[in-house]
Amino acid sequence: MRTLVLCVDRDDDIGVKAGVNGPVIGREDNLKASIALGLADPEEVDTNAILAGLQIYDDIVKRGMDAEIATIAGDSHVGFQSDLILTNQLENVLEVVKPDRAILVSDGAEDESVYPIISSRVKIDFVKRVYMKQSRSIEGTYYMIIKTLQDEKIRRRWIVPVSLLLIIVGSLSLFTKIVQFAEGDYEDIGLLSQMTAGLVGVVLGLYLIGWAYQVMDRLLHRISRTKRSVRQGSLTIPFAIVGFVLVLVGLLIGYDTATVYREGLLPESRSLSISILLFVSGGVWFVVFGVFAYETGKSITAFLHTGKIR
């Protein structure tokens, strides 16, 4: 009876960080993969998971039982794509190893979510979950929090929902105050101070989203690309300027349309929803043509460089 010790790396850390393609079959190859991943990121838990799998494999072999070890890896985009890759690699491993049963080794619940996929193809006798031992001191806890938040996947998973909640709550708080201003209700002198909490929530939420998605780094990269495009004589820049001017004109026309409507009515007869509709209808086509001009410039530039229309 042959036992397969199966290590699962659903988000493909061994591929992204260590450049090792899955599946990895055999003790020597798995040992090399764990060393490569450990050198690339000494704090990566998947390294410990593979080493734990090697320990289990060695223990089984010492008992005189037939065993093999393999590591399958998914994709950094966790979900359907990663699980499809895992399934293909699993079937490849099963075809090569031909096990009668398996022992699943993972570093947490995310990897174990593929348990049904594995158990539908081979009998699983045991699941080994690997944790890294951490310092119990306050400094160690603080360090772990900081290191955890430096992981882009974790930031997007936990920070973005909190950011969206802050933006939604802050926007709802501001909306009622803005309506009061729009309708000309200035009786409450403390109205501006009442908007502070909502404004702080919106600003903080936007900042956290920008941090989670590294908006500043992306913006600096885009500026660098723009400078390079200008030096190379790219047509994107003039088309982008035309598009920006059209969008700006559209916003001004929309604002003017809404202002004319509001100035022609008494304060109690004004409608905020109608003002918004007039603002949108007054400038929407300029905005559409502005975006179209920008995309046209990008398409022409791509065609001149690659000979293909993107």
> pLDDT for 1-15, tens place per residue?
899 999 998 888 899
- Pairing relationship of beta strands 101-106 and 66-73 according to DSSP bridges: unpaired
263 or 167: which carries more pLDDT confidence? 167
* Confidence band, pLDDT 50/70/90 cuts, at residue 28: very high
* Confidence band, pLDDT 50/70/90 cuts, at residue 174: confident
Mean pLDDT, residues 119-124 taken together: 90
- The pLDDT assigned to 139 comes to 45
Mean pLDDT, residues 16-27 taken together: 90
- The pLDDT assigned to 112 comes to 64
Model pTM above 0.75: no
C-alpha to C-alpha distance for 110 and 224, rounded to whole angstroms: 37
Residue 78 main-chain phi, psi, to 5 deg: -65, 130
- The pLDDT assigned to 308 comes to 65
C-alpha to C-alpha distance for 17 and 23, rounded to whole angstroms: 15
The angle formed by the CA atoms of residues 44, 45 and 47, to the nearest 5 degrees, is: 80
- The pLDDT assigned to 116 comes to 86
208 or 308: which carries more pLDDT confidence? 208
Q: How far is CA 238 from the centre of its chain?
A: 32
Handedness of CA 251, 222, 211, 295 (dihedral sign): positive
30 or 258: which carries more pLDDT confidence? 30
Kindly report, residue by residue over 215-240, the tens digit of the pLDDT. 877 888 777 777 776 676 667 778 88
